[in-house]
A = this chain, B = another copy of it.
Amino acid sequence: MRQGNQTVAEYPRYAGDLNEGELLARIFPRLGSGKALLGPGDDAALLAAPDGRTVISIDTLVQDQDFRLAWPGGYRTTGYDVGWKCAAQNLSDINAMGAVPTSLVVSLTLPPKTLLTWVEDLADGLSAALRALGAEDCVVAGGDLGRGELLVVTAAVTGDLQGNDPVLRSGARPGDTLAVCGVLGHAAAGLALLDGGTDYALLGAAARTLTAAQSRPCPPLATGPAAARAGANAMMDISDGVVRDAGRLAAASGVRIDLDPQALEREAEPLAEVARSLGRNALDWVLGGGEDHGLLAAFGEGTALPRGFRRIGTVLEREAEAAHRPGQEARGSRGGDDAARSSGGGKSAGLITVGGRAPSAAGWDHFAG
């Protein structure tokens, strides 16, 4: 975290020392000018939607749930981390549809004793993530500021399909290859390091790469549209662990999925040393670890996997018994029924095997967790 030179009492130091307009004036210059048809300053912003459609999603980070301000090992979450992660997890949702991100609108709820430097860092982290992840054409088009006793950062994100069809969770077909892009389990390993009491100052470079995967995830943004162009049948972002998310994809598609144990072992290999040092199992992180924001996609037999994708399993026909369990066929419809697609609970249980057997970890659930 940046250390400002603000010891003189008359200089504002905390968010609560400024009014809303003064605080916005600290934030907006850090976000770049961008290309919205109309940016911040009016009641709403105006974006171009060149193909007559807009992809939209929303995601929230809450203090003490999605991040800790101070971790047991001594690491202090910076505003930069939170801004980066807010951008990354939202951009990932657009990527997962095969679209290109076009804008963020961001709502900040700040305790009055939040340091101004922390808030400025947050704006810098947002902005840096857009550039570093390759979303240069994505603008911060507007926002909202308010007080609250907890730090809460919500962004809504829009995207442009550039005339293409969106890639849904529901399109996987028996015989498809299941593939991933981006890392698996790295953010979970980083969480274990930050949360486990290991002194952050003593961590080596490899371990710090993993804590950075937790604090500042790097969704592979160009690969979503590339997978769409390659003809992916189904796609989603891996935010809650590959077992849970593959279960959702299988439930939405009316299929089941067998994951390849050897492929998963390969994914676990880079995490093995840190896992040993913490007395943990790297494979659990690979199977159940959330927040990596890679992509999970199903490609038809014979489709060459786009650059960055690795095969991790096979889409199979659902057995008669499972196929007739109530609530599992409700796919392809829209609106209320689709809530079932998001279920991490019973609806997708039994749809995922690893080498034909039940998996050992079930992914992350915000409420059951």
A residues neighboring B (CB under 8 Å)? 15-16, 18-25, 27-29, 31-34, 36-50, 52-60, 62-66, 92-94, 96-97, 99, 103, 105-107, 109, 112, 141-150, 152, 154-159, 161, 166, 168-169, 236-237, 252, 334-345, 347, 365-368
Contact = CB atoms under 8 A, between A and B. Distances in A.
Given A64-B148, A147-B62, A43 B25 contact: no
Contacts of A63: 148
For the complex formed by this chain, how many copies does it contain in all?
Answer: 2
Between A55, A161, A169, the greatest number of chain B beta carbons within 10 A of the residue's beta carbon is seen for A55
A366 B342 CA distance: 35
Contacts of A23: 367
B62 A148 contact: yes
9 contacts: A20-B366, A27-B339, A33-B335, A41-B252, A41-B337, A42-B169, A46-B55, A47-B55, A64-B149
B56 A335 contact: no
Contacts of A103: 56
Interface SS of A by simple majority: mixed
B65 A56 contact: no
Given A48-B53, A57-B43, A16 B146 contact: no
A131 to B, nearest CB: 16
Contact of A107 (B49, B53, B60, B338): B60
Given A62-B109, A156-B105, A347 B21 contact: yes
B97 A43 contact: yes
Nearest to A341: B41
Contacts of A339: 21, 24-25, 27-29, 40-41
A38 B147 contact: no
A97 B44 contact: yes
Nearest to A239: B43
Given A49-B53, A59-B144, 17 more contacts: A25-B343, A29-B336, A29-B339, A36-B335, A38-B166, A42-B96, A43-B96, A43-B97, A44-B166, A54-B54, A58-B105, A60-B144, A60-B146, A62-B146, A63-B148, A109-B152, A112-B367
